[in-house]
A and B are shown apart, each in its own frame.
Chain A
Amino acid sequence: MPSILRNTAVTLIAVIALYWLTGFYGTALRDPRVLDGWVLCGGMCAQLLFHIRKKLPASPLGKAASWLKVHVYAGYFVIAAFLFHTSFSLPESLFEWTLWTLFVVVVVSGLVGLYLSASIPAKLQEQGYEQITFEQIPAARQKLSREINALVLESVTQTGSPEISEFYVHRLRNFFRKPQNMRAHLRGSRRPLDRICNELDDLERYADAKGGKLLSSIKTLVVAKYDLDHQYAFQGLLQSWSFVHVPATYCLVVLSILHVAIVYAYSSGVQ
């Protein structure tokens, strides 16, 4: 049986078991929220184990890939426990709203992260870019910037005409200096690139042979920079979701502990 089916089946069985248990607990005139609350708490603690595993990369605690699988499927189970615990209803107090919102942020960021992790590497692969790590992108950008500078200087000395250098100053300097057109990249649009290329084509129409050759080289660098920005946008996205997921998780843990303390402090012997 494929592992995805097996894991889904196990998760579903656990959810059904929890549903049955909470019902049984209620029938026994006990407060089912105590049961599903503690299950939720336990589930959330179990989720933290993955973070601990990641903090101990060299530990002989099994494969991180297996831990991630458990993290994901246990996460689905925790969502179900959360829904049971909140009785599928919205919160009433500010504190509950805060808890609820944090939980939703953690879940949504986790699911988004899961989707991005599964889709972006494959998408970048499909687009056939030269593999480059996120940390190497600034160095690659600087290299392109140096190359374009050299070409522009060459254009001044070789053609004696200022068109290319003026175009560089007005249109390309900022483009090469830092990542540009992030929203267009994330939308998958190549319109900004087309615009620059069209302008370069316009210049090329009036350039002599030397200038045309230089413009052609500049265009190659422009395309390379655009592709680099594309990688930067998606690899950045791939890195960034965890900056939401992890802090929100820690906030949620702190508030959940407070929630449990408050519940027990103000209860008169919950069963």
Chain B
Amino acid sequence: MAQVQLAKRPQRWDETLGRGRIPADLVALILSSRIFRDINPDDFPDDLPLEGIIANDCTIRQLARGDFVYREGSYQTSIFVVLNGGIRMEALAGTGRAAGQGVRANKHSRFRSLLRGKHAVTQPEPVLLERYDMFGELEAMTRTPSSGTAVAHVDGTVLLEMTWPGARELLHWSDAFRHRVESIYRIRSIDLALMESTLFSQSDQETLASIAKHCSFERHGSFDWTHRYQRESASGRDSARTMEQEPVIVEQGHYLEDLFLIRSGFARVTERIHDRERTVGFLERSDMFGIAEINEGLRASGLPHARQGLRAIGYCDVVRIPENIVEKYMRLDSQPEANPEAHASVRSLHADQSMRDFIVDKRFINATKAMVIDTTRCVGCDDCVRACAATHDGIPRFERRGPTHANLMVATACMHCADPVCLIDCPTGAIHRDAGSGSIVIDDNMCIGCATCSSACPYDNIHMREVRNADGAFLIDEDGANHLKASKCDLCAGQSSGPACQRACPHDALMRIDIRELNVISDRQERI
């Protein structure tokens, strides 16, 4: 049996990766269209030509009337351009042309509204997208589930689907493209934020459009926050120092002239004690900040001042609504007296302060499926590791070690983040969200072993493993270096019974949890 086999290292645009390629004549036609005409090919580096991006990282989709492009709540990471025909957007905000046209709140906020006994939210008219309209950029850029459903409106609809690697390169190298996408992104972000907010759920689309005119959009921090976070973690700074590095959105005690709606990302709510800040909780998409202060200011006819501070954790997109607009349009039952629950907007972690700091400082609020081990129950039998190995060709996809606080250890296993930064720079899109489950999975056939995802993961949860052929020989390239593939927990994708690690734990010590569902944490803490 051969020990090693010489093989060419896979490259980004290799045909062997199994993707189709758009023919050159069609690429030329696409680039001459209105939407790409102002993109300068000279802006792109030689090894990443514009034609190559369109040919290799984009696909053409032909749809019949009624075919779905994607559904509300599903995960998709592509930006689409209508080349022919039309798309009906159900429950999505305006197209940029029709700012303020409606969107239905996403599943998350609708569910929350139901819990809070809210009225049904506005059911907007579908929006029709025509030739050269763009959509999908919100979901692709923020890595969040779709806010609406896109359906082909007419037979013969043709879409250009820019997969995330292609869209990322266009955004990176072309100022014209970036400005166009970002302007649409900002307008739609405001529309969506207003539609998702419970404050204005009784307002009609016309009203929302007029509110939108007064709103502004801000980004604090950077989408690509991981490298800075890694540097800070490595420096071993304490919690207070870490917090000081986070961009301030609202300073405690300052005049609060706007209401803040969190559009995407996370924000830390802080309180100043003497000259230091402590974490009170966090906010995520659809949460708001400042409503209690604004209401209090209205009642007392005084200026509202921020009782707490707000900082972006990593990055945070916010929509600011001026105080006078809030006062004018806010639903009557949104007043704190009528609905106090809605105003307890801070997600105050049901845990002690040190646990709260641990979770927020380590950015575990990002985790939707963290592997948390209760160390007062774990006997170290390694059944979890064996179960993982048995499910993944004998190689476990996690390590039973990791940051520990009190009795909870967050093991080194992919947490399937709400904001998966590992996806951002993957050159082939091999690491992606499963459209249905939202889990982060790696397509082994498309992974070229560049280790970009592995170095981007802020939690060190993606590892590179050596590749073997069917006979067990290691694949090496011309330089003698091993071929590598990224490897991480896939939540035992394909196994109907869920993650094997959790099922294999005989002492119920291992949980796969959304850390934001913090009652699980507090329950476990109370046991000790």
The answer to whether B387 touches A57 (Cβ under 8 A) is yes
The answer to whether B400 touches A133 (Cβ under 8 A) is yes
The answer to whether A239 touches B383 (Cβ under 8 A) is no
Binds A, one of B130-138, B283-291, B494-502: B494-502
Question: What 0/1 readout, one digit per residue, does chain B (373-404) give for beta carbons within 8 Å of chain A?
Answer: 00111111101001100110000000011001
The answer to whether A131 touches B497 (Cβ under 8 A) is no
The answer to whether A64 touches B383 (Cβ under 8 A) is yes
The answer to whether B407 touches A125 (Cβ under 8 A) is yes
Chain A neighbourhood of B502, CB < 8 A: 63
> Taking CB as reference atom, which chain A residue is nearest B384?
A57
> Taking CB as reference atom, which chain A residue is nearest B492?
A58
Binds B, one of A114-122, A143-151, A156-164: A114-122
A contact set with B: CB distance below 8 Å = 54, 56-58, 60, 62-65, 67-68, 116-117, 120-122, 124-126, 130-131, 133-134, 136, 235, 238-239
Asked if B108 CB lies within 8 Å of chain A CBs, one says no
Given A67-B506, A117-B507, A133-B400, check contact A125 B375 (CB 8 Å). Answer: yes
Query: How many whole Å from A117's CB to the nearest CB in chain B?
Result: 5
Partner of A57 from the list B379, B383, B508 (CB cut-off 8 Å) is B383
> Taking CB as reference atom, which chain A residue is nearest B373?
A131
CB-based closest 8 A-B pairs: A57-B387, A58-B390, A60-B497, A65-B508, A122-B376, A64-B506, A68-B506, A58-B391
Give the bracket for the number of chain B residues in contact with chain A: 20 to 34
> Taking CB as reference atom, which chain A residue is nearest B402?
A131
Query: How many whole Å from B501's CB to the nearest CB in chain A?
Result: 9
The answer to whether B380 touches A238 (Cβ under 8 A) is yes
Partner of B376 from the list A63, A116, A121, A130 (CB cut-off 8 Å) is A121
> In the docked arrangement, what's the CA distance between A120 and B404, Å?
18
Partner of A54 from the list B383, B391, B528 (CB cut-off 8 Å) is B383
> In the docked arrangement, what's the CA distance between A122 and B528, Å?
8
> In the docked arrangement, what's the CA distance between A88 and B13, Å?
77
Question: What 0/1 readout, one digit per residue, does chain B (497-520) give for beta carbons within 8 Å of chain A?
Answer: 100101111111100000000000
Could you list some 21 contacts between A and B, CB below 8 A? A56-B390, A57-B383, A57-B386, A57-B504, A58-B391, A58-B492, A60-B496, A62-B503, A64-B504, A64-B505, A117-B379, A121-B376, A121-B377, A121-B378, A122-B528, A131-B409, A133-B400, A133-B401, A134-B380, A136-B401, A239-B380
Query: How many whole Å from A40's CB to the nearest CB in chain B?
Result: 24
Given A64-B383, A239-B380, check contact A125 B390 (CB 8 Å). Answer: no
The answer to whether A133 touches B375 (Cβ under 8 A) is no
Query: How many whole Å from B325's CB to the nearest CB in chain A?
Result: 51
Query: How many whole Å from A143's CB to the nearest CB in chain B?
Result: 15
Question: What 0/1 readout, one digit per residue, does chain B (49-84) give for beta carbons within 8 Å of chain A?
Answer: 000000000000000000000000000000000000
Chain B neighbourhood of A68, CB < 8 A: 506-507
